Amino acid sequence: MVGITVSIIGTLAIMAAFANFEGRKRTTTSADDAQQSGSYALYQLEREIRTAGSGLTQGRNYSVWGCAINALPSSALPAPFNAAALNMPPNAPAMPVLIAAGGSSSDVISVMGGNPALQVFKVGVTSAPTNASLTVGNGFGILQNDYLLGTLTNGSCEIGQVSAITGNSITLASATAQVTGLANAVNVFDLGPQPVVSLFGVDTTQNALVEFDQLQRAANGGATGVPIADGIVQLKALYGINNGTAPSNVVQQWVQPTGAWAISALTANTAAAAAAVSQIKAIRIAVVAESRLPERTSDYVNTSTTLTLFPDLGSTLQYHVPIQPQFRYKVYDTTIPLRNALITRYF
């Protein structure tokens, strides 16, 4: 009996120590998971946004920025990009970066840019183009399989893909849902063979940062976004603007993407919209990552009920994100200069 009693006591002590160790291990692992997810999500966003506007640098001065791209299907966007609060147009406007305010939900970031090998300036169209071909003033640097973004006579834009080029004569790929040709194009801009025309947002059903490729939406079914980082529960962004009283590349003020800085205002065909777009020099992003599994109350309880994003800014620019007490959270905050948008003053 004595031996059995001692064995039971020893077993209980070992199990208590084991349970304590597992609780601490779970806490550490959960925090590490949230840290990795948040840092990777921010890395992916930063990589795409830093190259935004490539191939469109001159576009602001030639009726590109803000024009609706006709080649992108106008069918409703899939979740999470179809929320009413976002007011996200189904055919993304041609702009390096746009932010759709999600209200209490996550924002959505629209990114557009190309990877042209040689041609970075606008190219004038010298013949009456069709859906199948066109002749340009200078075909140097335009390569087979490159995508061309064209400004049309009606003020909209179109995308076509080069299937062959001989001198200045370009043959376009057969008209499809993704690329319907460049009939009535005035100027074209080379976006390279793998342009980015994507939306980034948070899918709350699976707690993941997802990307939706609008250029290839017909090819991939157009149903859902592609997860690129799990454990993400919130995404918020601000525009960094220069109001003209400091050197042009300096961010003087941060603004939320609402009112005069909403997508509908920035893409309007007005002098005020053009002036506002020219003021945007950077965006600031905050990403919130959550651990995958809840922890036991005996191991960890977070007494906070909210996280404050952009805490160093004024209260009108802050967001307060509700959190659950038994999860670990990491907040990642960074500023990304729109380097391709900044150099438009030289053209």
220 and 320 both lie in a single domain: yes
Length of the chain: 347
150 and 263 both lie in a single domain: no
209, 190, 178: which is closest to 285 by C-alpha? 209
Domain total in the chain: 2
214, 237, 232: which is closest to 41 by C-alpha? 232
Domain span at residue 185 reads 123-192
The pLDDT, as a whole number, for residue 200 is 93
Whether residue 28 lies inside any domain: the answer is: no
Whether residue 51 lies inside any domain: the answer is: yes
The pLDDT, as a whole number, for residue 273 is 84
pLDDT tens-place string over residues 156-173: 888 888 888 888 888 888
Please count the helices (runs of H) and the strands (runs of E) in the chain: 4, 17
307 and 212 both lie in a single domain: yes
The pLDDT, as a whole number, for residue 310 is 94
Torsion sign, CA atoms 204, 209, 214, 215: negative
The pLDDT, as a whole number, for residue 19 is 56
Q: Which of 192, 208, 243 is the last residue of a domain?
A: 192
Dist CA 42 CA 287 (whole Å): 7
The pLDDT, as a whole number, for residue 71 is 63
The whole model's pTM is what? 0.84
Alpha carbon 336 to its chain's center = 12
227 and 325 both lie in a single domain: yes
The pLDDT, as a whole number, for residue 107 is 93
Low-confidence ranges of the chain (pLDDT < 70): 2-7, 9-33, 71-75, 84, 90-92, 175-180, 217-223, 298-302, 341-347
331 and 229 both lie in a single domain: yes
In the chain, pLDDT over 70 holds for what percent of residues? 80
